[in-house]
Chains A and B, each alone.
Chain A
């Protein structure tokens, strides 16, 4: 079962859609989440450039619900740049993670690939795709999952699985269990042989025959029959769980980093991870400077070539500055993402924040996350919510623990937000087109 030079490989990247990305607001109000810049490149760029390392890659498909025009420019630019055909396919209705793959099977099989990679766009990891492919060929199953070991407490947020320590076969799989099953979780990166389509078809024909005893809320019952239709097939519950233990699915464990980019705060964390990866794989991409001809740079920093940074500024660690941004004299930037056309004026400080396109940060102003830089831990969100708030002030509701997941952890300024001179913005989220002329803390400014 050696590798054949003629065998082609196709990669499919699931990018989701607009109504699904509400956790990524307010950033997703202006741009589809997959195009949001992480470490200086659109989020989807990272899995795409990882795919480029797969031998004999014939085609990359992006599958999602966004309008075609939102991806048209990006797709043609990236096809040119990486010299590999990338195409965006729009799902007309929800088919589920496996159903979506099945829906486009004819296109995917056009190049007669021997293997198909399936990746989720919002996964941040080292994407060891060529190694996965090699392992998959050795195992001889119909699919191989990328898995990683996490802390037992956090495992229940994901798909937990059990693998045979010798053969690496997937023995058991369960999605978001209430009790502890395993500390190995599904990373959302898979490689399949074309037999996967047969497996999906079998599942959908089975659901036609079996009755589904599922309580449907009155709101759901009103929606046009989507979940109830037979071409809605979820990869985790409908394919992985049933096929586990049948010598069809295997696992490949990664010891590198892995995160999911579900909230704006996480994009900052993942930016940090990718920047540190650049340090190893392509250090020339990162910025450097010692304060003489260019600004002092500490740690891993990306500065777009068109951005202007004053030599008296101090940048880093973990800073990403996008095109045409201007950073003025004496500015201090730590752990932040500065998007296109932002202007940061003299002596301002920005830490643990995302500053949206065309925003301006006034002189001596301060934009930061939690009140204490040291408290950037899981406890941070709890501290924030226990603070006494004035009556009438609005508290944001968070979906998961941890400061990067907490909406009030990282400060986010939407596009065209103006922070006036000497104003302090702490742990707040500001929607686009607002001007802050008074300091704010722990607020959402609509």
Chain B
């Protein structure tokens, strides 16, 4: 089976993290974002993944060679020379997706994190026999997204409504599709939107079915949702493979610590914390609801909550980092500094307090 992951553009909403790495390679729960999806696809028998990208292919390709070898799955890139929208990339990668077997192929949106019940989706697709299946998820505020209006029992999709002003339903497009190769015949090789052009065509022909996504779903394309997404992800990990989470007297709630990270004495870590490879957390540190990326050092007595600490940064002694502070790569927060929602670009030193949300260039 084949799959296409829509990686798209510049990841500007995840700056400053995306100033150091292209978005799919930004770590989430100690793994590059895109690796979560590639692993889920491999698990249901996908043997080739095509990445539709239009930015920094060289950086991506280097990393991917690594994953290809480790996972034994073929990974190729399909590069857009101009932005092709959400359907154009499928037409662009046509040759790689159609292998003559007639098997459907997956399309995933790279910003999305979920439990990826892809096996159930394959069954659902076979059962209804339609041309295309999409995952939908229930949200509290549907008007922020594209709402899918569907028949509750069969899942047959009636129509798509983009950011509806009045309530038409609470299920939105989760960005996970399973499509028959015939769908590619309906997509022209030009910038085109799958929700606005392709799917409505298939829905009108009664060929589009929606499955409600079991488990959590999150678009982690921006820092606030990234932090919420980590909570949902770790929660799901607790249910499915609790062995991966870290336990101990100094751990509270769901915490993921890479085996190469070191944690000192007298710390209190958790809930909802991910600590990446090579990190050093010195003694007396309190961490909650935060992501600590590769190579970070958190010095004694510091306190970090609801924040993201970027690769190779350091947090000084007795520093307090909270309220959606995002530190880019190689940022050094001095001893005893307080930052409340500071967004700090890479390669900076913070020597004075940031008392209210501020961007530090």
Contacts and interface: CB of A to CB of B under 8 A. Distances in A.
Contact of B12 (A29, A218, A392, A433): A433
B50 interface: no
A307 interface: no
Contact of A446 (B16, B297, B299, B334): B16
B314 interface: yes
A429 B356 CA distance: 19
A438 interface: no
A157 interface: no
Interface stretch (B58-66, B151-159, B234-242, B340-348): B340-348
Interface in B252-306: 297, 299
Nearest to A223: B332
A434 B358 contact: no
B27 to A, nearest CB: 19
A403 to B, nearest CB: 17
Interface string A386-401: 0000001011110000
Interface string B314-350: 1011000000000000101011000000010101110
Q: Which one of B10, B359, B361 has the highest number of Cβ atoms from chain A below 10 Å of its Cβ?
A: B361
B351 to A, nearest CB: 9
B2 interface: no
A353 B184 CA distance: 46
A394 B343 contact: yes
B23 interface: no
Interface string B1-13: 0000000011010
Interface string A1-33: 000000000000000001100110110010000
Given A22-B348, A433-B10, A433-B12, A446 B335 contact: no
B297 A222 contact: yes
Q: Main secondary structure on chain B at its contact with chain A?
A: loop
B19 A29 contact: yes
Contacts of A314: none
A108 B9 CA distance: 46
Given A431-B15, A444-B361, A446-B15, A219 B345 contact: no
Interface in A393-446: 394-397, 407, 429, 431-434, 444, 446
| Interface footprint category on A | 20 to 34
Contacts of B19: 29
B357 interface: yes
A151 interface: no
Interface in B153-208: none
Interface residues of B, number: 26
Nearest to B347: A19
Contact of B335 (A22, A218, A394, A444): A218
B190 to A, nearest CB: 20
B358 A446 contact: no
B360 interface: yes
Interface of B: 9-10, 12, 15-16, 19, 297, 299, 314, 316-317, 330, 332, 334-335, 343, 345, 347-349, 356-361
Interface of A: 18-19, 22-23, 25-26, 29, 217-219, 222, 392, 394-397, 407, 429, 431-434, 444, 446
24 contacts: A19-B330, A19-B347, A22-B345, A22-B347, A22-B348, A22-B361, A26-B361, A29-B19, A217-B316, A217-B334, A218-B335, A219-B314, A219-B316, A222-B314, A392-B357, A396-B358, A396-B361, A431-B15, A432-B10, A433-B12, A444-B359, A444-B361, A446-B12, A446-B343
Closest 7 interchain pairs by CB?
A433-B10, A446-B15, A19-B347, A25-B361, A444-B359, A219-B332, A394-B359
Given A219-B335, A434-B12, A446-B16, 11 more contacts: A22-B345, A23-B361, A26-B361, A29-B19, A218-B316, A397-B360, A407-B361, A431-B15, A444-B361, A446-B343, A446-B359
